[in-house]
A and B are shown apart, each in its own frame.
Chain A
Amino acid sequence: MLPLPVFDHHKPKTLSAALDLLARLGDKAVVLAGGTDVLPNMKQGLVEPEHVVSIAGIEELRGISLVREGDEDKLVVGAGARLVEVESSILVRRVAPALAEAAGQVGGPHHRAMGTLGGNICLDTRCRYYNQTYFWRKSLGFCLKKDGTVCHVVRGGSRCVAAASNDTAPALIALDADLHLLGPRGARVVKAHDFYVADGVKNTVLEPGELVVRVSITRQGGRRSSFEKLRRRNAIDFPLLSIAVRLDVSGVETTRVDAADVVVSALGARPRRVRAAAKIRPGTPFDVAARELAEGAYAECKPLPNVDDDTEWRREMVPALVERAVTRLEG
């Protein structure tokens, strides 16, 4: 078996203790929630921490609830919520179906039992030349995301384009979720869309020592959402594409779309919001919306050969998945 390297393990019980520890240990430490991403990456030498700070024992990070804020209802999901909890929560399924669907399609049952929403949000980007053992990467000559100087996906490229592979990210963006962060410089709220940046080495704005604490999503009448994932097997596989769609449907006239958001991920380092979605005019019939969104997504989304399957096929599947996601929301 590939052994884990040696490290010191810490398991703080409170959020403040965790933040203190992280501030003290600096870049020698890595946060571990469910460990389903961090531990395999450590075995492959992709992260080499001296300290591992487990946040799995922190009660404050758990729980799923509906909270009244002013005249709005907000779905609040703790970063420590397990994906299986997110997937099966009635609240999430009512308010944010795309999130429940995305969580339910992560990995296999074991990953969802251990993996957390926070860990999924902060998942490292993935690439066929990166998520390999040290020996393999050495044989390749490494790459600029880790230990090397070149990119094998974009030859001559100076920027890592490893794929954002977390299924919940496009759902959270499409649902316009707020991410609540807490770090050495205090608390802040960042829109899911602004949380990600186009840099495969580190594709979030998370600062050193900062944690995702929870996620909130405003409940709105007439809001529908769905999630579609492209993969070769019906479980385990990371996305070859993941697509979230949000539609706002006016009160009585439920066959027409007033506004839409479409987010496509597993293309490059950052999930992509399809611009064509903003152009949907209020009152657009479903079938027209489906076609326009699919065409828009096809024109705007160009997968890279960063994950292993036929790139052209992945591109062809963008409109098919968008159309399916939209059509599922009709009626």
Chain B
Amino acid sequence: MIEKADQIFVLLLHWLVGFLPASWQHVASTILCVATIVLLYPALFAIAVLLERKGLGRMQNRYGPNRVGPFGILQPVADGIKSLTKEDIVPFRADALVHFIAPLVLVVAVFMGFAVMPMGRNMVLVDMDASLLFFFAMGASTELSVFMAGWSSRNKYSLLGAMRAVAQMISYEVPLLLSSVVIVMMTGSLSLVKMVEAQNQYTWGLPHWYVFTPWGLAGFVMFVIASMAETNRSPFDLPEGESEIVAGYFTEYSGFKFALFFLGEYVGMFGIAGLGTTLFLGGWSAPLAALSVVPSWIWFFGKVMLWICFFIWVRGTLPRLRQDQLMNFAWKFVLPMTLVNLVVAALWRFMGEGLLRWIVCTAIVVVAYAAMGRVEMRRERLGPRSYRYAE
């Protein structure tokens, strides 16, 4: 029974595909899986938007949307209908083709990442060796789409927003990758499925999640920071800083194309949250050995939603950074921390079992964090800036 509940989607798929001739089965199951992913995440997107609007409202002592349907739960439907029926305006001087393709590239690239995401036991579309690499490769192409959107609009705000977004995404991709490399070092594999399997073990009923190790915790914190920046979430949402550049790279988008950008942003968030869950929080494994009876997919989606809630919480709390603060933070704090973390992980690996490695690794991480924090928090001397070679 427990087994059945855990594998319900897999069994359902087999049962559905069973009606077809054998030669079609492979194709049909692929199509079914893809369709499920493509339908599931927009549904989650609707839930997340509602959660976000409600949660932010409550953090600011407001009600949030509460008009459409009971407690406002149909608000996303209303939003969807609104954006679908709005006029689609393309600026006269815009580069029509690129302007049209940009949102499509974004959405396609963002959805591709889910192909390798293990969303439950045996629930992964493509189990390939280099799935982590695949995920990052797909994530990298979103930058191009952001640039295309900003450049093709022929609007200074769009272009500035795109430049900001691309600069930010490139800067934070480095720490994002480096903080995941630690996991690769430990698992000895680039496969996300293997990573979850490695974490799906229990000692005294407690899980072997990577976040419960010194290097894992440090990597996790850095990953969370970098993932927020990577998905342009507050406090790193400069690319769409309303006060300076209207809406950033999608200023000139309206109607359905705007909805696609919005969708792409949130689905990208799910992607990165899913990746973080898989890397650090044990993917679909239960937080306690005793809780393994609960289906694995519930754990995966639960963790992803928790992650999203945390993003919302942070958005309700922190103000937006300034561009130079953003860059300083990436290159002077997050990046060095991830590099230190690499060394720590290597030490952990070679020190063997025992209490000693816990003490040493924790000490290094804490000292590095405190030292770098001190340097970061030193008050900067203000004055006119000049550059050595830029005259």
A binds B: no
Task: Give chain A's interface residues, CB within 8 Å of chain B.
Answer: none
